[in-house]
Amino acid sequence: MKKKIKIIGLDCPNCAKTLEGQLNKIEGVKNVRIDFVKSSLAFESENPDKALEDIKTVTKQLEPQARISGGENKMWLVADVVTLALGLLLGIMLFFVQLPTWAFWLVYVSSALLLGWKTYIKAIRLLFKCVINENLLITISVVGASFVSDHNEGLMVIALYSIGKIFEGLAVDHSRKSIEKLASMQPEFVNVLVGKKEMVARPEEVEVGSLIIVRAGEKVALDGLVISGSALVDNQSLTGESLPVNKKKGDEILSGGVVLDGVLTIKTTSEYSDSTISKIMNLVENASENKSKTETFISKITRWYTLGVVVLSVLVWGITWAVTKQFDTAIYRGLIFLVVSCPCAFAISVPLSYFSGLGNASKHGVLIKGSNFLDACANLNVVAFDKTGTLTTGKFEIQKIDCFENHTKQEVLLLTALGEQYSIHPLAKAIVSACQQKLPKAKSVKEIAGKGVEFEYKNKRYFVGRKSQLSQTAVELYENDIKIGQIELSDAVKKEAVEACEGLRKMGVKTVMLSGDNKSVVQSVAKVIGIDDAIAQMLPQDKFEYISKLKENKQKVGYVGDGINDAPSLTVSNVGFSMGINGSPASVEASDVVIVDDNPKKILTAIKISKYTRKIVWENILLSAIVKVVFLTLGAVGVTGMLWAVFADVGVTVLAILNSLRALKHKVEKK
């Protein structure tokens, strides 16, 4: 039997992964899956009640702050902050107050315990379960520093780590992907026509073949076929298409769109669970489970590094004792080995490098939601873009005015605006805005569904709309059935979009545009921007499947979008980029990186900072490793003493920390 429950309080993906591994070892429990993004835990068991109790027991042992099937509890934050503050105060007191030896050790141990008691407990409990991770790494760092009487270093290590964990937990709580926000796309009710009467029902209660009525301002709840009526339908939240689509009798219509005017009677062709909007919801919910999460290097090597250090220190002690027959000398050299190999440089400098990179990115208007996503940006080899609102402004501008029959551009613009002033269509609004004149009232205004508007002005009859087979963004003007003008508009391309695609190409990153707009519009925009590939008329599930296939082919994919419809693609991609100003709340929450000013060129900034940060990380790793290997060898054979061991540990840590701060000061080249 499958069961899914809520789990809150996990403060990092790595903790969730470790806990998941231990829960899968419980007898009678299988296929445990923790979704860190949605704070959910799924498992299978023939006896789910007993399994749940066992899961709660193990979870409480390994992650005391985590809660199973409980409400949100922020008391952990208050307790952690208070405990941390007390630990810092005691630690600072050691700098300014001279204490007797017994009092010094009492204060020192109390400070260290207050600062990191959770870390120590996790390290010990996981060690008994044969799991070695960063908790043991930090614990050894503190103990190692205490062995050589470098108490300040010991407190610094655990203080920085604990502060970082608190901020990490806050960031996770704040930036969790709010899947619930997509529920606004799902209508709560639908008007069902039964005989000649309307009845209100829930969408999931409506059977296939039922007749539903959707009026202006209402959302289409179910996929279907228009039986009667005509109306403009805004599908931007569904397909990203910038222009409303006219729907009339005989047209298919998808759930999720909003009727702007008119009334539609629709015969449903699918149940709610099979409707387009329901499928989008399922895609987003499932995508987070399939998404591969990049881990920073330090998380990967923690277990083996720490285990190797412990084993080698014991070997050094044993070999020295066997050769010299001097127990004290063997203990001393083993301790030197342990101190030199104390992983402070790794434990502090590597996360600090990532934090510095994240801080640098934020200064450039790029908010990256974690070091794993910063790391992932460096690996991207394909970046897919949504069109409207991402590469384009989403606002239409007049590109060209053609005049016929001796009319001027000013006359064509004025007469066209005269008819369009009564329309809510985006093209109409753009034309009226461009006219910049106080428009007189037209007479005998009549809207022709799906075509345009007829009106009279100065005893002449005019038509504004489209009679010919033109592009979707062209408007014609007729005077007494004679064409006198034509206005072409386009969704303005962001000038930064061209620079972004050019910069990505120079980096060896392929660019792709995935849009719900028609083929001619998409190809036109792609030509202006110079994008590598462009695909039109894509629904959210089409984009989702396209990105999924790229990932199956071992591509590292970034997706850039701004609408609710982009949420599935943002979630399934290796790195999802959203627009911070015009982006929908759902897209911002579903993304891994937020471009604060909607400038697509900032994707280059994110990648450049990512690559530079990774370079700093590897410099720190190599520096620390080389120095430690040299001094480990010298210490093992008795050439160096404890003083050099402290230098190798503390010195390389300080150098690595200073090097890490370069990631914060790095200036991204402006090209």
Q: Which of 150, 234, 386, 598 is catalytic?
A: 386
386 has catalytic annotation: yes
DSSP 637-650: TTSS-HHHHHIIII
Q: Are 268 and 220 in contact (CB under 8 A)?
A: no
Q: Which of 659, 664, 650 has the alpha carbon at shortest distance from 620?
A: 659
Cα radius of gyration rounded to whole Å, the chain: 32
Which ranges of 364-403 does DSSP label H, i.e. alpha helix?
Answer: 371-377
Angle between helix 75-96 and helix 101-128 axes, rounded to 10 deg = 140
Q: Which two tokens stand for residue 450?
A: 């799906």
Distance CA 536, CA 515 (A): 5
Q: In what order do the strands lie in the sheet with 392-403?
A: 392-403, 482-493, 474-479, 460-465, 452-457, 443-448
How far is residue 226 from each of residues 250, 510, 516, measured CA to CA in Å? 5, 41, 21
Q: Which of 46, 42, 55 has the alpha carbon at shortest distance from 4?
A: 42
Which ranges of 365-486 does DSSP label H, i.e. alpha helix?
Answer: 371-377, 409-420, 426-435
How far is residue 324 from each of residues 161, 338, 422, 550, measured CA to CA in Å? 40, 19, 99, 61
The CA-based dihedral angle spanning residues 492, 498, 500, 502, taken in that order and rounded to the nearest 10 degrees: 160
How far is residue 202 from each of residues 143, 188, 207, 224, 233, measured CA to CA in Å? 62, 6, 11, 16, 21
Coil, strand, or helix at residue 597?
coil
Q: Which two tokens stand for residue 196?
A: 């000649």
Query: Sign of the C-alpha dihedral, residues 41, 44, 49, 55?
Result: negative
Distance CA 256, CA 239 (A): 9
Catalytically annotated residues = 386
